[in-house]
Structure 1
């Protein structure tokens, strides 16, 4: 974790503007993800002529690269400083656009073009993990660790905003100028972000000796497990709510997803100080309870309004889980290791979202669509019990890593 600069206390609008001025770089990185997201599967399958497997692989490569590189992003942010990591990540986003551009230019050589697309997706995954982790730590370094929960919350808001904006805009740009024009726009977004980031003042990197990864993992894994269990609720709604509505013979699945997103973002905006006021674990337990009620309502819904209320509650409940547990998780390690702790903690959500889809699909094929929402509610209930146990256990002394000479 970078060392925060000593400044007068920030609050209100000034604090939010200071945070947004940093997390906008994460917005840019996610915009480069969102822009090609709705275009690439059809481009690989329909235009390039490859199977649905390859279309899916091109998309998935980015997520695997993010998952594998995220712990490294945290460690480098601790040792080199978050600004350098953000700029490095944005350079990766720029290079991913260059990969798309060269793939479009070599369209007459389908195998070469596909390899370039895959390379671009891998570079994008690495770039996003560095830009996302670095922007969070940069924001904390600017406003102070007291506001880490708010920094994480704003990062989530800009992530949702960038993905929501990027996908439809990407389709518009693709139909307007083709795949190469879309690639140039992605490169332009990343380049503008790089040029804005370079002149920004840095925050100091940590001076202490980092803990080994095993020690960091041992300190945060229980919080990560609670996050992973709670993320199952988000995963089944995002992935299967359309099939749920189809199975019921209802219309309005897209509106249900909109309700989830509005509840998610709205809750973060309405309760920016909740974590500081009552504590991360208390907020997490309240959120788990709300998410459980929402998932149960979806699972037993006999009318569309029941499902919509359930989705709304699930979105509101899941909204503050990540920052609430994250605040506690990063404080479980010395300051010079908190970047690695945040990155390791985030990996649990990445893994959860990666396995929820296929596992829930197996359950759905065996027992029907509604059952997956009841099962997800059960997993969130386990997260609630785990968090309650974490709250009841005596506070642990945070080990200090040896300082560098």
Structure 2
């Protein structure tokens, strides 16, 4: 399983993830400095909106023109955006750029996950998705921590240019990959014409539902955790993401292997129940120690759920339509993150005591996902 292709795509995903995640802890303060504090919920919502609407196109292109060009396009968007943030120094310009930046995650992760499924043995797919998730998650942890460190010692402009540097490294890694799609078609504008049937892969809908319910909480986390981190006494706004990702990484390989051996839905159910506990804990224990324990529990929960959902999506996909299935799963993810960010930002309005209520609400959605798994009729692919 540990071929040069697999290692290279994991490294590419790490730097790609670090590129856009390193901005997240500092963007609320940056938007406030521009006079847009009331638009804090749009930082993530606009990003996920364009990521979501681009998924059907990235899924189709992944299955037609190939995995590699789709990954390259998303990384190129990150590279370009890092240079434009210092220039777009108005609230409108910033929000417009966030809208465009979302195309990055609308393209690269869809093709990268599909690429992984092409280059590993099918019987170790869950394990492979877990390891690929470790790489992506490492970028998610190191990015915010490094971003906050850069901002503390340098400036917003240096932070944005550093984001572009990470994207450039990802580009170099991806451009040297060999295409894995057998029948590659040349790109034409007609390839962007998709029918209603091609927008959503119905066969992947069960995995998409769970992804939506699980990732509502992540939209809330991305939007409110920077302020919550300061409120409980930490200076580095990336603290939560460091702890969250460390625990997420520790469990991903084991969870992936368990999903290969015992079934995807059993592992997903355990992860969802852990997610309920983690979100209640985050809201209930409002101290530095409680914050760290909550971050660790949340990391464990998402580390269990995510690789199993990704592998389950591939299991459910139709022949030759893995990209479409992954796109459907990611659409649900983006909608969940976007709604979580938008609604929590609207409810929050700078009132820190309101934040625990958003965690409790997210726990309810995770519990709903657990009920769905329990009551859903089991299928052979589960």
> Which residue number in structure 1 is paired with residue 188 of structure 2?
none
Shift in alpha-carbon separation, 1:76–1:310, aligned structure 2, 3 A:
same
> Which residue number in structure 1 is paired with residue 366 of structure 2?
380
Shift in alpha-carbon separation, 1:122–1:207, aligned structure 2, 3 A:
same
Q: Which has the larger radius of gyration?
A: 1
> Which residue number in structure 1 is paired with residue 46 of structure 2?
61
The DSSP-based 3-state class of the residue aligned with 2:102 is helix
Report whether the alignment pairs 1:293 with 2:277: yes
Report whether the alignment pairs 1:223 with 2:207: yes
2:179 counterpart (202, 207, 212): 202
Shift in alpha-carbon separation, 1:338–1:174, aligned structure 2, 3 A:
same
Distance 1:174 1:297 in 2: 30
Shift in alpha-carbon separation, 1:118–1:133, aligned structure 2, 3 A:
same
What are the superposed Cα offsets for residues 325-344 of structure 1, whole Å, 9 maximum, x if unpaired?
23223322313111111111
The answer to which of 259-268 and 202-211 deviates more is: 202-211
2:313 counterpart (329, 337, 342): 329
Distance 1:293 1:339 in 2: 33
- Given the two structures, how large is their TM-score scaled by the length of structure 1? 0.74
Unaligned runs of 5+ in 2: 186-190
Contact 1:244/1:370 (<8 A) preserved: no
Shift in alpha-carbon separation, 1:129–1:26, aligned structure 2, 3 A:
farther
Report whether the alignment pairs 1:27 with 2:2: no
> Which residue number in structure 1 is paired with residue 118 of structure 2?
141
CA positional deviation for 1:129: 2.1
The answer to which of 167-176 and 194-203 deviates more is: 167-176
CA positional deviation for 1:83: 1.0
Shift in alpha-carbon separation, 1:207–1:395, aligned structure 2, 3 A:
farther
Distance 2:160 2:221 in 1: 31
CA positional deviation for 1:77: 0.6
Contact 1:23/1:155 (<8 A) preserved: yes
1:319 counterpart (303, 306, 321): 303
Q: Which of the pair has the greater relative contact order for Cα pairs under 8 Å at 6+ separation? A: 2
Contact 2:41/2:345 (<8 A) preserved: no
State the Cα RMSD in Å: 4.0
> Which residue number in structure 2 is paired with residue 214 of structure 1?
197
The DSSP-based 3-state class of the residue aligned with 1:335 is coil
Distance 1:192 1:246 in 2: 32
